[in-house]
Amino acid sequence: MEVPWRVSFQNSPLSDKEEARTEAPGQSHLFLGLGESNSIFCFQPHRFGINGQWVYSCIETSDSRPDHEPPPDQTDSCGSPFLFTPMAPEFTHRTEADLETNGWTAQTFKNIDSVDLKIWHKPSATLGDGQATAAIVFYYGGGWRGRNINHFQRQAEHLSTRGMTVFLADYRSSEAYVGSPFDCVEDAKSAMRYVRQNAAKFGTDPNRIAAGGGSAGGHLAAACALLPDLNDPNDPPISCKPAALVLFNPVYDNGPGGYGHDRIKDRWREISPIHSIEAGAPPNIVFLGTEDHLVPVQTAERWKAKMEECEVRSELYLYPSRKHGFFNQEPDYTDTLQKADNFLVTLGYLPSGESQYQHRTDSHPPLFSSRSMTSPSKSPTEKQTP
């Protein structure tokens, strides 16, 4: 990897980010710089806004500061520093251009406020023409603020190789499109309706469309399944309810004391999925770190208990000592993906047998691991409905 600049944090974080933006405009990979006391800083490019301008986040990680903690509002959004593990080149931050070169195509599923919202599609890599496949729509995380359309690209591409048609949906996050959390829910529902309405074109079974996502993206997936309101009046009269949910540390409690309540205030009942659970909810699987500062373990356990009261299948996997966003770092990336794969097999969305997931970090190991800064690797705790 290149080390294209040297940075100092004696100045404000904003000036450091401006320096990175000036000296490395338009780059599409993660770069490293050396800071004071040989600490390592990562600059990660994000494409934001209607004009697609590049903005750089300054992301710090350093063995010299093992007590460094993410800020309270850790998200994928631009400008928020957070503990990060540099990975192999194929595992670093990707761009929309990377989607294009890897067989993805984009369609506009919604035009609103002069914004064309796109959904990226990749067909099943294993099934022949004429076979309707199961599908999954992924929503990226970022606190309803940041935009990273590639957040679940790796998970989606794995599921494509296994036989599912996969989608990555955009929505009006606040830093990209000046949208509100309520706009985000409307857009997420619009994307689900678009996929279902065009199921024949995509070669998918309209009755086997799942939704998935992490953090705010997990909230949006759950919102499509459970929230009766927040529907775009211009949408066709088609159900937006997914047939299954795959959720990675989802912020699905937005009531008093829950995530984002200060932003949605007295409208929380409209937008909080955990408060809208009822019979007929889709089967779901949830992954959560026990040290997640945004989603308490008690919230996930309450979600599972409420689902079971409604006789809905709900699986919960707790990962000891893991923090928010753990699922895109090894070894948890592989473990959560394998469990999600197995869950989808039991629903008949994927063929049974070997998942054919290949762990590639042997030939391309991470530069160093944040695991050594926190706690030893531990196996997840399974809390699963029989």
Name which residue leads in pLDDT, 54 or 45: 45
130 band by pLDDT with thresholds 50, 70 and 90: confident
**9-18, 45-54, 109-118, 138-147, range with the lowest pLDDT:** 9-18
**Does the pLDDT of residue 289 top 80, yes or no?**
yes
Residue 167's contacts (CB-CB under 8 Å, 6 or more residues apart) are 119, 120, 121, 122, 135, 136, 137, 138, 156, 191, 195
pTM assigned to the model: 0.73
What the block records as the tokens of 265 is 């205030």
Share of the chain above pLDDT 70, in %: 66
Share of the chain above pLDDT 90, in %: 61
In contact, 308 and 278? CB cutoff 8 Å: no
Start-to-end Cα distance in the chain? 46
**Does the pLDDT of residue 14 top 50, yes or no?**
no
**Does the pLDDT of residue 142 top 70, yes or no?**
yes
**113-127, 152-166, 287-301, 359-373, range with the lowest pLDDT:** 359-373
In contact, 172 and 115? CB cutoff 8 Å: yes
CA–CA separation, 215 and 230 (whole Å): 19
Name which residue leads in pLDDT, 302 or 29: 302
What the block records as the tokens of 187 is 């857009």
Name which residue leads in pLDDT, 221 or 5: 221
What topology does CATH give the domain 91-352+366-384?
Answer: Rossmann fold (3.40.50)
**Does the pLDDT of residue 272 top 80, yes or no?**
yes
Q: What is the pLDDT of residues 78-109, one digit of tens each?
A: 333 322 233 333 333 467 888 988 889 999 99
Helix axes 332-346, 153-162, angle to 10 degrees: 40
List beta partners, residue 6: 34
Residue 71's contacts (CB-CB under 8 Å, 6 or more residues apart) are 80, 81, 82
Q: What is the pLDDT of residues 308-333, one digit of tens each?
A: 999 999 999 999 999 999 999 999 99
**Does the pLDDT of residue 341 top 50, yes or no?**
yes
CA–CA separation, 43 and 28 (whole Å): 11
In contact, 78 and 21? CB cutoff 8 Å: no
| Cα of 201 vs its chain's centroid, Å | 26
133: nearest Cα among 110, 159, 156, 165 = 165
**Does the pLDDT of residue 298 top 80, yes or no?**
yes
What are the sequence ranges of the domains in the chain?
Answer: 5-87, 91-352+366-384
